[in-house]
Amino acid sequence: MKLKDPEKVELIFAATLRLVRDNNLTALNMAAIGKEAKLGMGTIYGYFKSKDELINSLFKKLKGKNLDRIYAGLSPDAPFKVNMKKLVDNYIDNRVRYFSEHYFVEQCANSHFLDEEARAINQNSYTRLFELLNRGKNELLVKDIDNALLAAHMVGSANELVNICIAAHRPLTRDFLDQAFLLCWDAIKR
């Protein structure tokens, strides 16, 4: 059995991200991926048996990388508010820097393409945020309301902020990130 060339896998993944960013997930097909990656169909199908397999493989990879970047630098020893600020900064920065990745993940999250493992990864992606919010509640710093509501407000607000910045070609400044956190904090604090 021939080993997969990691460079070709990355070409396929990069082509997939560009196509989904430009045309959405529903328009994605293997022929377009091959053309965009400048690889033959035999090569594409040699690496991924189907579009579903490709989508799931890329989704799992990106979801893990994004979560690692979003939670980077958080410490259980740091004060709650310091961790929450770091999380919000990381999330916004990561979403701007890796916009195509986030767009792909969002397109996939509620699609019929995801297998059980990918769905479980997606479902569990809020675990660390919920743990952090529970810590804030235990320290009487965060409103005692459902974590799903708090997360939806925080993530939805951050996503819209990023969409506006990208559409307006507005760079993220420290002042802008601080203001974004202030709005988030005012929304969740007790």
User: Which of left, alpha, beta for 169 (phi over 0: left; psi -120 to 50: alpha)?
Assistant: left
Domain co-membership, 2 together with 82: no
User: Which CATH number characterizes residue 90's domain?
Assistant: 1.10.357.10
- Asked if residue 82 and residue 168 are part of one domain, the reply reads yes
Same domain, 117 and 173: yes
Total tally of structural domains belonging to the chain: 2
pLDDT in tens, 41-87: 999 999 999 999 999 999 999 999 999 999 999 999 999 999 999 99
CA dihedral of 124, 112, 106, 98, whole degrees rounded to 10: 90
Same domain, 101 and 177: yes
**Cα 8 to Cα 69: distance, rounded to the nearest angstrom:** 24
pLDDT score recorded for residue 7: 94
How many helices (H) and strands (E) the chain has is answered by 10, 0
Mark whether 73 and 40 lie in a shared domain: no
Is 184 domain-assigned?
Answer: yes
Q: What percent of the chain has pLDDT over 70?
A: 98
Determine, yes or no, domain membership for 54: no
Is the pLDDT confidence value at 2 over 90? no
Range of the domain at 1: 1-49
Q: Are residues 79 and 132 in the same domain?
A: yes
pLDDT of residue 3: 67
- Residue among 103, 1, 5 nearest 58 (CA): 103
Is residue 55 in some structural domain? no
* Average pLDDT score over the chain: 94
Q: pLDDT digits over 145-182, tens only?
A: 999 999 999 999 999 999 888 889 988 889 988 999 99
Residues 115 and 24 placed together within one structural domain of the fold: no
Residue 5 is assigned to a structural domain of this protein: yes
Q: Are residues 71 and 24 in the same domain?
A: no
Q: What's the pLDDT at 106?
A: 93
Task: List the CATH number of the domain containing 41.
Answer: 1.10.10.60
Residues 83 and 161 in one domain: yes
Whether residues 127 and 42 share a domain: the answer is: no
Whats the size of the chain, residue-wise?
190
- Judge whether 68 lies within some domain: yes
Residues 122 and 71 in one domain: yes
**For residue 181, is it within any domain?**
yes
Considering the entire predicted model, what is its pTM? 0.89
Whether 163 maps to a domain, the answer reads: yes
88 and 175 inside one domain: yes
Interatomic CA distance for residues 93 and 71, integer angstroms: 12
